[in-house]
């Protein structure tokens, strides 16, 4: 196992991004200092080449939810080393039947599986670790995450700059924010890994359901990004939603979360972490549905305005498919439409990722010479050195 820590540093922004904001009259935005009818003019940012994000992607820490002896941890640390990001793995207990019974005893009647409960308890324990650390922010990810080789060098700097502009203009403070993602007063959760379908699971979504004004009537930002896969290489539902919202190709957007199902990778601050741990949101005694999950608990809190949540869309982190890659031992591609399976088989990539790690092509084992090569050519230069896809 190879771990590397790098000193944190604040980064300059440098890219061309068109940001369009329209602040709506919804009560969700009561904290905004802008009137409902006020429009912020488009902003363009020009400058030198991007500076890569720091090793914790601008957060106080990157925290992985990873049970003891997890079969997913090796791959997580391999890809973290190639992209030179520093992941901390808080220690988790081996959950027992007593822990499961204790959770069920205070959560009411539920059809949750043991795996779902243990995953829920694991997230709560990592949030507790974060609060005890004294850190101000953290990005929490599950240990089955995949991401693009250009995560640190291109994707995060673009997204962070857009958030800085949006939050600093929408939630101005007396002094400039020193947080990489802008003013901390405008958000509780930032979703970097999710499946935000813009509707509840099982409901219709996409062309014929959403329309462009559903996006443009809310604060948002368009972020040109060549690392976004073309629509024909995306999960069909994601491609359908982006098309319905009239989002240009090779463009990422940030927007208030609609239905951000999936607690795959989400950022919290101290106040929001404490709120999630409370009976209002996700404690064992919090109100629950008969068939529930932590994903649903956070989703409900975002949809109701209990938490102020933002989504990066398409997502930057996505879970790898298959039972061995699931924190809750759930084979998430069971019953997927044939078109989804064909798309994954054709690209060999995880959903919404152009050049990721699921294929195993960037494994290095303990070979330090290969690691240094992969860091230089793949992680830093962004060359997708996979069979048939070698990039100059």
- Packing angle, helices 338-347 and 236-244, rounded to 10: 100
The answer to whether 14 touches 48, Cβ cutoff 8 Å, is yes
Query: Measured between alpha carbons, how far is 128 from 274 in angstroms, rounded to an integer?
Result: 8
Find all residues with CB under 8 Å of 25, minimum gap 6, and list them: 36
pTM of the entire structure? 0.85
The CA angle 312-47-80, to the nearest 5 degrees, is 45
CA–CA distance, 380 with 155 (Å, rounded to integer): 12
Bridge partner list, 142:
65
Backbone phi and psi for residue 105, each to the nearest 5 degrees, phi listed first: -65, -30
Q: Is the dihedral of CA 104, 110, 113, 118 positive or negative?
A: negative
- Distance from the first to the final alpha carbon of the chain: 30
> Tens-of-pLDDT digits for all 392 residues of the chain?
444 333 333 333 333 334 333 233 223 333 333 322 222 223 333 333 679 999 999 999 999 999 999 999 999 999 999 999 999 999 999 999 999 999 999 887 778 899 999 999 999 999 999 999 999 999 999 999 999 999 999 999 999 999 998 988 877 665 556 789 988 888 999 999 998 888 877 788 899 999 999 999 989 999 999 999 999 999 999 999 999 999 999 999 999 999 888 899 999 999 999 999 999 999 999 988 888 899 999 999 999 999 999 999 999 999 987 544 555 554 444 567 777 777 777 778 999 999 999 999 999 999 999 999 999 999 999 999 999 886 54
Q: Considering only CA atoms, which of 223, 202, 62 is closest in space to residue 145?
A: 62
**61 contacts 138 by C-beta, under 8 angstroms:** yes
Can you tell me whether residue 222 is helix, strand or coil? Answer: strand
**C-alpha torsion sign, points 204, 207, 210, 216:** positive
User: Using CA atoms in the order 377, 382, 383, 387, what is the torsion angle rounded to 10 degrees?
Assistant: 110
> Which class for 343: exposed (0-12), middle (13-18), buried (19 or more C-beta within 10 A)?
buried
Residue 275: in which H helix or E strand, if any?
helix 270-276
């Amino acid at each position: 196992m190879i771990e590397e820590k790098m000193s944190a540093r604040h980064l300059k922004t440098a890219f061309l991004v068109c940001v369009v904001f329209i602040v709506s009259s919804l009560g969700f935005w009561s904290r905004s200092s802008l009137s409902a009818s006020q429009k912020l003019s488009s902003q363009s940012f020009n400058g030198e080449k991007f500076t890569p994000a720091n090793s914790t992607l601008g957060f106080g820490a990157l925290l992985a939810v990873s049970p003891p002896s997890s079969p997913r941890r090796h791959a997580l640390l391999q890809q973290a080393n190639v992209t030179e990001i520093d992941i901390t793995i808080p220690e988790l207990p081996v959950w027992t039947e007593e822990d499961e019974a204790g959770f069920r005893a205070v959560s009411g009647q539920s059809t949750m599986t043991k795996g779902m409960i243990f995953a829920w308890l694991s997230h709560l324990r990592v949030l507790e670790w974060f609060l005890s650390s004294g850190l101000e922010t953290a990005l929490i990810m599950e240990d089955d995450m995949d991401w693009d080789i250009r995560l640190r060098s291109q994707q995060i700097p673009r997204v962070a700059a857009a958030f800085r502009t949006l939050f600093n203009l929408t939630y101005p403070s007396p002094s400039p924010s020193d947080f990489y993602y802008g003013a901390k007063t405008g958000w509780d959760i930032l979703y970097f890994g999710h499946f935000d379908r813009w509707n509840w699971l099982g409901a219709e979504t996409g062309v014929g359901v959403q329309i462009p004004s559903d996006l443009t009537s809310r604060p948002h930002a368009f972020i040109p990004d060549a690392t976004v896969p073309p629509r024909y290489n995306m999960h069909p539902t994601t491609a359908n939603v982006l098309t319905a919202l009239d989002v240009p190709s090779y463009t990422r957007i940030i927007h208030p979360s609609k239905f951000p199902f999936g607690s795959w990778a989400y950022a919290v601050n101290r106040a929001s972490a404490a709120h999630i741990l409370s009976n209002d949101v996700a404690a064992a005694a919090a109100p629950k549905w008969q068939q529930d999950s932590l994903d649903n608990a956070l989703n409900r809190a975002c949809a109701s305005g209990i938490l102020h949540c933002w989504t990066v869309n398409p997502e930057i982190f996505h879970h790898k498919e298959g039972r061995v890659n699931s924190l809750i031992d759930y084979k998430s591609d069971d019953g997927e439409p044939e078109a989804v399976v064909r798309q994954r088989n054709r690209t060999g990539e995880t959903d919404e990722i152009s050049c990721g790690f699921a294929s195993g092509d960037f494994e290095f084992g303990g070979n330090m010479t290969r690691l240094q090569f992969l860091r230089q050519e793949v992680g830093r230069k962004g060359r997708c050195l996979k069979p048939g896809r070698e990039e100059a």
